[in-house]
A and B are shown apart, each in its own frame.
Chain A
Amino acid sequence: MPEKPLVKSSPSFFNNPRNRSLIYQFLLLIGLAYFFYGIVSNTLANMEARGIKSGYDFLSTTAGFDILMSLVPYDATHTYGRTFIVGLLNTILVSTIGIILSTIVGFLMGIAHFSHNWLIRKLAVAYIETFRNIPLLLQIFFWYFAVLAALPSARQSMSFGEMIFLNVRGLYFPGLIAESGAGIVYGAIAAAIAGIFILIRWAKNRQNETGQQFPVLSTSIGILLGLPLLALFVSGFPFIWDFPALKGFNFRGGITVIPELMALALALTIYTGAFIAEAVRAGIQAVPQGQREAARSLGLKESKIMKLIIVPQAMRVITPLLNSEYQSLVKNSTLATAIGYPDLFTVFVGTTLNQTGQAIEIVFMTMAVYFVINMSISFVMNRFNASVELAERN
């Protein structure tokens, strides 16, 4: 006859962790379902009361408003769907400029923090502490309303070698117009970039196997400049210069950078650059002092120590921080709407929403876009992070 246990082996129904967690989750599910049911029914009722039709039909309706700047052909006869594309491209443009420039500024200032020169060290600290602690919107306003608005008018433009002009309406510089045969040059540029990737792989493999270093940087620059130049000569320079020139009250021709873009890119660069500089500083400080001392005792030059020993190890700390800084730069680019730079937010959530009243669809699309952009940044940075991560022996 089996012995009866003195204590019941299983706890009572409500004290069983499994049952409890099921009950809690069920309660949450009911709560959420009720919440969403309330929201959806309220929204539908409200939309009906206000006469808003839901759906994405508005995307194919004519927009009827002009946009200050567009990377693809656009005028008032295009559709609302087109305004989405225009805004999206402008957002990507300012984000890309901001990410590239702020990385350069950030790394320079972060490394300057460890300079041998006291003045440079202090300047780097002053830069970081000043611009990190002032609201970004204020910085955008400062550049836009106080600095760029004080530039001379078109007739009194500042000119750099009669080719680049800067005035209150924007920055003008010469552009290139492609003629037939330009394809060879574009092909050469693509070939040069592909060649550099192959070179980097080869040099890395060779260094791993034989220990010999290869001057990758100078060779890459050589390839990048040489191949397109060669193609230019072979194809007989299939481009014409398009110089900006003063016609009437304004400059025509060339490439125009509108002041809104300048102010936004400048403010984003300086603001995010300060955060990246701080990340770089933290990363370099996280490398133990012993690494530097060991490198010195091996007889490496100071410049080589930074490049081969310190920065690769610091990148492990810096990369995750860079990831979040880039993402917040993209999110912060929505402040364009304060000065009227036609980014996705200004064009789509601003004007298009006002005209169509399709709040839910438009806000949803915009949020989805920022999610996708940030996910892509995250994906790229995580790939990069995996390559700089410490290869541990398991």
Chain B
Amino acid sequence: MKEFKPLPAQPAPNDTIGPIHWMKENLFSSPVNTIVTLAIIAFFATVIPPLVDWLFISANWVGNTQSACTNENGACWVFVIAWSKQFFYGSYPVEEIWRVNLCLIGLVAIIIASFKLNKDLRNKIAIPLFLLLPFISILFLDGSWIGLEYVSTDYWGGFTLNVLLAAASIIVAFPLSFLWALGRRSDMPFIRSVSIVLIEFFRGVPVLALFFMGSVMLPLFFPEGTNVDKLVRVWIVLTLFMSGYMAEVFRGGFQAVPKGQYEAADSLGLNFWQKTLLIILPQVIKISMPNILATFVMLFKNTTFLLIIGIFEMLSTTQTALTNSNWLGGHSTEGYLFVAVVFWICCFSMSMISNSIERKLDTSHKN
């Protein structure tokens, strides 16, 4: 009897494996696709070499003044380098810049600490410090109350102002928006309607109108003679604006917490605040984290709007630099490109973090 002997397996045909197959599948799968692919490649081939040349090869990198930009065909990065201190710190005195850096380091350290520390330390140290940080930072940056040299808010500016203002606003907005969201879910009709009006007002009005309110109308609201600093007014406005959006984020989070959690907390005999702060809030924050980050990215981008009411954040410093009489060479593309890259890196990395948290939380088995 003849024994069955299978033939040795043939290698897969060349066009079903490897890069050739991939290209066939993804680039040249149909005549239309082939044409599109070739058109896109042709477009890149014409655009990228001159762009790279302008950006890097012919670009001017060294020097301090406009006259150092000798090559007309390249970007004048000297402009960005010469103004970089202004872009990041505004007109803050050079020898005091360590104070700004200290505040930034404090912010980063507290954020890292609240992720790394164990629960007890986090609740007792990291969170109170986090909530106090804006006020500590103000003490340091201003300096007059703690024996450092006084730096008026007129000199604060640059990218660090964008970061610190956005951070200070979201930190104060956290408890505020949580209260608003609670109010909106409350059974008490008057508290609920007040919360709804607040939330919808700050979400429905253009943030620019709010800034104008802050700079034109807020002084009218205070008793005569009180002079509230411009930056403080902006901070109030940004916080309220942010609270409106975050309250809605928290509301979504509240709705996502299963009803059983509330019932379990009730049956343990916890009172309202114990239930809300110990059982519900931690779950709400966890669920809403991606959306909180997304809202923060929006707020962070919106801090550039402060240019319109004359606060020297990064974009406004760039505008000033572009109109400086020593640099009237039309460096707007370089300037905007630099600011765009700085913001892009920050916003993109935050949205990456938000995506990864979302993926970690997503336990569904769709697709």
Residues in chain A within 8 A of chain B (CB atoms)? 21, 24-25, 28-29, 32, 39, 42-43, 45-47, 49, 116-120, 123, 129-130, 132-138, 141-142, 145-146, 149, 288-289, 327, 330-332, 334-335, 337-338, 345, 349, 353, 359-360, 363, 366-367, 370-371, 374
Contacts and interface: CB of A to CB of B under 8 A. Distances in A.
A141 B36 CA distance: 32
A120 B340 contact: no
A359 B224 CA distance: 17
A116 B25 CA distance: 8
Residue among B187, B190, B212 with the most chain A CB within 10 A?
B212
B216 A359 contact: yes
Contacts, number: 143
Nearest to A29: B190
Contacts of A116: 26, 29-30, 33
Nearest to A371: B204
Interface string B220-236: 11111000000000000
B216 A353 contact: yes
Interface stretch (B54-62, B106-114, B275-283, B342-350): B342-350
Contact of B344 (A28, A134, A334, A366): A134
Interface residues of B, number: 53
Nearest to B205: A367
B26 A117 contact: yes
B191 A145 contact: no
A134 B209 contact: no
Given A24-B191, A138-B343, A371-B204, A359 B220 contact: yes
Nearest to B303: A135
Residue among A119, A123, A330, A370 with the most chain B CB within 10 A?
A119
A173 B27 CA distance: 39
A136 B347 CA distance: 13
A353 B223 CA distance: 22
Given A345-B206, A363-B217, A129 B222 contact: no
Given A117-B36, A146-B332, A370-B209, A43 B191 contact: no
B209 A345 contact: yes
Given A133-B301, A289-B367, 11 more contacts: A28-B194, A42-B220, A45-B224, A117-B26, A117-B33, A134-B347, A135-B315, A138-B340, A331-B208, A337-B308, A338-B308
A374 B366 CA distance: 35
B82 interface: no
Nearest to B226: A42
B262 to A, nearest CB: 15
A394 to B, nearest CB: 22
B127 to A, nearest CB: 26
A70 to B, nearest CB: 22
Nearest to B223: A42
A354 B277 CA distance: 47
B307 interface: yes
Contacts of A32: 194
A130 B345 CA distance: 10
B152 interface: no
Contacts of A123: 40
B143 interface: no
B1 interface: no
B213 interface: yes
Contacts of B37: 117, 119
Nearest to B189: A25
A82 B331 CA distance: 39
Contacts of B222: 42
A120 B37 CA distance: 8
Contacts of A331: 205-208
B221 A43 contact: yes
Given A288-B366, A335-B305, A39 B208 contact: no
A137 B306 CA distance: 10
Nearest to B221: A39
